[in-house]
Structure 1
Amino acid sequence: HRVNGLITNTGHSIVFTVENTTRHHINVTGGPLSYKYQFHQIHIHYGLNDETGSEHSINGYTFPAEIQIFGFNSQLYSNFSEALHRAQGVVAISLLMQLGDLSNPELRILTEQL
């Protein structure tokens, strides 16, 4: 499914927010999650060079970029704002990015819109 939304470049990250009126929702379920979480937002953090940019690190090692995917518990709450500071309200998935020789066609779909 295609999802409509707004892409914003904050100067230190790119944020994609799903439109509230979208008909098709993407959900995160399973694994350790007891509820269904509706996709709400993606944050892409990047830096000025190829060594730093991620918001998080592993054993002191930072990455060139980080993609964070946020969703809200659509079984208990009606939107992200309502769920944000509530128990089991929000799920976050973080992907730490490395540079490689090959282009990523799925990521290119998003970056070509900037």
Structure 2
Amino acid sequence: MKEVIHTSNAPAAIGPYSQAIKAGGAIYVSGQLPVDPATGAFAGDTIQEQTRQSLTNIKNILAEAGTDLDHVVRVDVFMKDMNMFADMNAVYAEFFTEKCPARAAVEVARLPKDALVEIGAIAVVD
């Protein structure tokens, strides 16, 4: 069994996928672009602003599922330019401070809507 998680506090899916799926004791959050759900536009032009919005979207999706960032066990970060890693990582460290999740961070050729970053996550359910 799987449960679709959806909140208006994160951008709606722009294709045939869900914001997140709850199944088998975990919540699988789709990659989140830095879209502000209130405006439908990117939260800013810098990697810091975009990282903050992507992680805020994840936080809001997890809240809708009844959990939080403390339950995240895996994060995947896709960046347009690995030279932005330090700036992305500084913002990331504001969201994950203790018992940080496992993570991959990779540079990709292009992201949807030409975003600088897209972040996905997996959280466990208590």
TM norm. shorter chain > 0.5: no
Q: TM-score, normalised by structure 2?
A: 0.28
Q: TM-score, normalised by structure 1?
A: 0.30
Of structures 1 and 2, the one with the larger relative CO (CA 8 A, separation 6+) is: 2
Bigger proportion of residues as strand: 1
Larger radius of gyration: 1
